[in-house]
Structure formats: structure tokens, C-alpha cells
Amino acid sequence: MNHLVLEELFKDTAASDLAAGREAIHYLELLIEKHTTKRLADAAYDELFAGRHTLLPLQLTAQDLTNIKYFLFYLLMNYPDRSAATARCLVKCYDKTLVEGACRAIDAYWQQCDETTCHLTDVITHSGSFEDFGDRVLPLFRKLKEEGLPETRKSMAAKFAYYKKFYGLAE
């Protein structure tokens, strides 16, 4: 992998120009998605990466993805003006090792940014199985359902309806 290309992208995500930073985060999200799911045809990725063609040939290693995840948590906790876009990137990782970090980030954002909190709950729900939630996640999700900001409460109500239907969870 070309570490210089990735380092440049990292630097751009923290640019003082908010729009440029969010654009770089979007490219990072596309790069993660391409690595984790490759849900689109190559031609579609060609078009999506047209603005940053140097990213297209990157083949991420497991270590690259780990470094990206660490960087995303740094970005999430230090650049609140980009938190929603950053949390959306973390959703694309589909990684259960992110659950505790996502819970801690929810603790920081749950009364600050509805969109960020909703994406962070998606990080958890897309990271593994309901059975893996443990003692930390369900109490946090219950709190968000009852006390979270409006979109978070709505999202959590839908999640709990799903858990009740498919896992028999009693609210």
C-alpha cells in the first residue's frame, strides 16, 4: 500500500476548511467500503474516486484498516464538526472490536449530536450479532431510547422493535 497516499488523505480529513475535510472523510468512507464490502462494480468505484484517483488502486491490508480505525476514533473525538461523517465511516468497518469505542463516543455525543449518535449505534449493530451486545450495549441503548435526542430515540425505538420481533427481547 502507498502509505503516502493514505497519510495525505488523513491530513486532508483534518483540514481547516470544513468542506474539504468532510470531502476527504467521504473518500475515506468509500475506501473502507471498497475494502470491506466491495458492493459496487469496478466502474462505479472508478466514477466515485474520480476526484481522488490515487485512492482507487489502493489495496488495504488488515493493518491498514486497523490504522484507519484508530485514526477515525482520533478524528471523532477531536473534530466534533466532522463527527457524523466520521461515525458513518466507522459503520462501514463492520468490526466488533469497535463496540467499546463506539459506546464511549456515544457517551460523549448522545446529548450533543443526534446524527453522530445514530451512526454510532449503527457501528454497534453492524459490528456483530445481537447476542454479542453484552452488559454495556443494551443499557446504553435503553437510555438512548428514553433520553436521547429526537432522531436517536426514533432510531432506537425501531431497533428495539426489531430486537423484540427477532430475538424476543422484552423491553
CB 25 within 8 A of CB 75: yes
Q: What percent of the chain is predicted at pLDDT more than 70?
A: 98
Examine the pLDDT at 1 and tell me if it is beyond 70: no
pLDDT in tens, 17-63: 999 999 999 999 999 999 999 989 989 999 999 999 999 999 999 99
Q: Sorting pLDDT into bands at 50, 70 and 90, what band is 2?
A: low
Average per-residue pLDDT for the chain: 94
Q: State pTM to two decimals.
A: 0.93
Q: Which three cell numbers stand for residue 81?
A: 464538526
